[in-house]
C-alpha cells in the first residue's frame, strides 16, 4: 500500500492493501465489507475503481453478463500501467460470451475431473521425485523454489509438451509478466519472448502432433472446421502455461505454511488423510485466497449492488477474500477448520470464468500434502512465518521464499 495526494493535497491510501499477517485480511477490509461497495484508487495507475465484497455480492457480479472481463475497455482495472500487449495479447480469460465460451471449450475437455484423475499416477511420481530431491539436500532449503513452483510447472509443461530444460524460462518470464514491481518494459519483453517461444512450439505441433494438450486443442479446431489464427492459440497456451504453475505454486507454499502453523489441524489431517484431504484442500483455499484481487471486471451498463450504482464504464474488483471470510457462509471464518472444507469457497473464482484448471490444482495439492507429510513427518518452517517475505499487492498473492527444515 502507498499513499497519494488527492485534489485537495491530502494523502489518501491506495489499493491494493497489505495483509498484516499471512492469513489475515487487510484491516481496511472491515469498513469495505460494512459498506458492501467502495471506491478505491489503484496505486500504480491512479484509476478509481469499485470494490465489491461479501460472498453473495461477489458471486452475483461474477455471473452478471453486464460485468465484462475484456481487457480492451479503457477503465479495465489493471494493477500496473498496461502496455498495449496486455490488452490485446489475451485468451479466453479476457473474452466475454460467446467468444469466451467457444474458445474455452477447446481446452476444457483436458481439465474435466475424469481426465485429470487419469494423471494421478504421473503426478504421484513427480511428487515423489520432488520429495526425493528435497531429502537429498541438507536442510534448510527453499521449499517454494524447489517444490512448490517446480512441481506444478513440471505438470503443466508435461501436459503442453514443453521440455524440462525450458521450465526456468517459463517461471522467470511469468514473474516478469505478473509481478507488481515489473516495469512496463519488462512486461512487454516477457510477453514478446514467451509468445515467440510458444509460437514455435505451436507451429511444430501443427505439423508434428503428439499426445500433448496443444496437439489436442489444434485437433479440436480442425475437427469443428473452425478457423483460428495461430496468435489465438499462442495466447491460450501462454495463459494455460502461466496459470498452471503460478497459482498452484503459491497455494502449495502457503498451504504448507498454514498447516505447519496449525499443528492440531495438521494432526487431524494426518490421522485420516484419505477422508480429510478433500475438505482440507477446500479450507486451505478459503483461508489463503491467493487470488483475492485477481478477478477484475468492467461495468457494461449501470449495475446496482448493495444499494450503490456502479456506473457503466467503471472498473470493478471482486474481493474474493471477503467472500471467503463471510461469516454468514463460514462461521468463525478466521479459523482454519479442515473438516468444514466446502466448495462454496470462491478461491477458484465463480461463474463462467471459474478457473479451468481447478480440478488439476486440487489433485496436485492433495497428492503433494499427503505425500509430503507422510514422507517428512518432522517438516517445519526454518524461520517464523511472520518473517517470510510475501508478494503483497501481486495479482497472485504468494511468498518469495519458504525456508523449511526437518530432522535428518
79 secondary structure, DSSP code: S
389 secondary structure, DSSP code: -
Q: What is the residue extent of each domain of the chain?
A: 3-405
**Angle subtended at Cα 57 by Cα 55 and Cα 62, rounded to the nearest 5 degrees:** 95
- 3-class DSSP assignment, residue 44: coil
Q: What's the pLDDT at 9? A: 43
Q: Quick: pLDDT tens for 106-135.
A: 888 888 999 899 999 999 999 999 999 999
Cα–Cα distance measured from residue 326 to residue 173, given in angstroms and rounded to the nearest whole number: 35
Q: What's the pLDDT at 84? A: 77
CA dihedral 197, 200, 203, 208 (to 10 degrees): -100
Cα–Cα distance measured from residue 368 to residue 146, given in angstroms and rounded to the nearest whole number: 13
Mean pLDDT by 10 residues, the chain (408 residues): 45 85 96 96 94 98 97 91 76 88 84 92 97 97 95 90 80 67 74 85 90 86 71 82 84 97 97 97 98 95 95 98 98 97 95 94 97 97 95 89 96
Q: What's the pLDDT at 5? A: 43
Pairing of strands 315-318, 48-52: parallel
Strands (E), 93-157: 141-142
Q: Which residues pair with 40 in a beta bridge?
A: 49
Q: Quick: pLDDT tens for 83-102.
A: 777 787 678 888 999 988 98
Q: What's the pLDDT at 104? A: 87
* DSSP track, 168-230: HHHHHHHHHHH-TT--HHHHHHHHHHHHHHHHHHHHHHHHS--SSHHHHHHHHHHHTT----H
Q: What's the pLDDT at 228? A: 66
Q: How many residues does the structure list for the chain?
A: 408
Cα–Cα distance measured from residue 260 to residue 253, given in angstroms and rounded to the nearest whole number: 11
330 secondary structure, DSSP code: S
- Mark 93-121 as b/e (b = at least 16 C-beta within 10 Å): bbbbeeebeebbebbeebbeeeebeebee
- 3-class DSSP assignment, residue 52: strand
Q: What's the pLDDT at 367? A: 98
Q: What's the pLDDT at 178? A: 61
What CATH architecture is 3-405? Orthogonal Bundle (1.10)
Q: What's the pLDDT at 182? A: 67
Q: What's the pLDDT at 8? A: 41
Q: What's the pLDDT at 379? A: 98
- Residue of 336, 335, 325, 356 whose CA lies nearest to 280: 336
Q: How far is CA 86 from the centre of its chain?
A: 17
How many C-beta atoms lie closer than 10 Å to residue 210's C-beta?
11
Angle between helices 273-288 and 263-271 (to 10 degrees): 150
Strand arrangement, sheet containing 141-142: 141-142, 403-405, 380-381
**pTM of the predicted model as reported, rounded to 2 decimal places:** 0.91
How many C-beta atoms lie closer than 10 Å to residue 46's C-beta?
10
Amino acid at each position: 500500500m502507498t499513499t497519494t495526494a488527492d485534489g485537495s493535497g491530502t494523502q489518501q491510501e491506495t489499493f491494493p492493501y497489505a495483509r498484516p499477517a499471512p492469513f489475515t485480511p487487510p484491516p481496511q477490509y472491515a469498513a469495505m465489507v460494512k459498506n458492501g461497495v467502495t471506491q478505491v484508487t489503484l496505486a500504480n495507475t491512479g484509476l478509481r475503481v469499485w470494490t465489491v465484497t461479501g460472498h453473495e455480492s461477489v458471486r452475483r457480479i461474477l455471473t452478471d453478463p453486464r460485468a465484462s472481463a475484456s481487457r480492451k475497455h479503457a477503465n479495465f482495472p489493471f494493477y500496473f500501467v498496461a502496455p498495449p500487449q496486455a490488452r490485446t495479447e489475451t485468451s479466453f480469460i479476457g473474452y466475454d460470451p460467446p467468444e469466451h465460451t467457444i474458445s474455452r471449450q477447446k481446452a476444457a475437455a483436458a481439465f474435466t475431473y475424469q481426465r485429470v484423475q487419469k494423471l494421478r499416477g504421473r503426478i504421484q511420481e513427480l511428487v515423489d521425485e520432488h520429495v526425493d530431491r528435497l531429502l537429498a539436500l541438507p536442510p534448510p532449503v527453499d521449499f517454494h523454489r524447489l517444490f512448490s513452483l517446480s512441481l506444478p510447472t513440471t505438470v503443466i509443461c508435461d501436459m503442453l509438451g514443453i521440455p524440462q530444460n525450458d521450465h526456468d524460462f517459463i517461471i522467470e518470464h511469468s514473474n516478469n509478466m505478473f509481478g507488481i514491481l515489473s516495469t512496463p518494459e519488462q512486461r512487454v519483453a516477457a510477453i514478446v519472448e514467451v509468445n515467440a517461444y510458444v509460437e514455435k512450439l505451436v507451429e511444430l505441433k501443427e505439423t508434428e502432433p503428439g499426445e500433448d494438450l496443444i496437439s489436442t486443442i489444434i485437433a479440436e479446431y480442425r475437427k469443428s472446421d473452425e478457423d483460428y489464427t495461430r496468435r489465438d492459440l499462442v495466447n491460450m497456451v501462454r495463459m494455460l502455461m502461466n496459470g498452471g504453475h503460478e497459482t498452484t505454486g503459491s497455494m502449495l507454499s502457503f498451504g504448507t505454511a498454514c498447516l505447519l502453523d496449525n499443528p492440531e489441524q495438521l494432526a487431524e489431517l494426518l490421522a485420516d488423510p484419505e477422508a480429510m484431504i478433500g475438505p482440507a484442500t477446500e479450507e486451505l483455499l478459503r483461508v489463503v485466497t491467493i487470488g483475492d484481487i485477481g478477478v477484475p471486471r468492467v461495468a457494461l451498463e449501470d449495475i446496482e449492488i448493495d444499494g450503490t450504482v456502479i456506473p457503466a464504464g467503471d472498473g470493478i474488483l471482486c474481493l474474493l477474500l471477503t467472500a471467503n471470510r463471510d461469516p454468514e457462509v463460514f462461521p468463525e471464518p478466521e479459523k482454519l477448520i479442515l473438516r468444514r472444507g466446502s466448495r462454496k469457497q470462491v478461491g477458484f473464482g465463480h461463474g463462467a470464468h471459474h478457473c479451468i484448471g481447478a480440478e488439476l490444482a486440487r489433485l496436485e495439492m492433495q497428492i503433494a500434502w499427503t505425500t509430503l507429510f507422510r514422507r517428512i513427518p518432522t517438516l517445519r518452517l526454518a524461520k517464523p512465518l511472520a518473517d517470510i517475505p510475501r508478494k503483497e499487492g501481486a495479482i497472485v498473492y504468494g511468498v518469495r521464499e519458504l525456508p523449511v527444515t526437518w530432522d535428518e
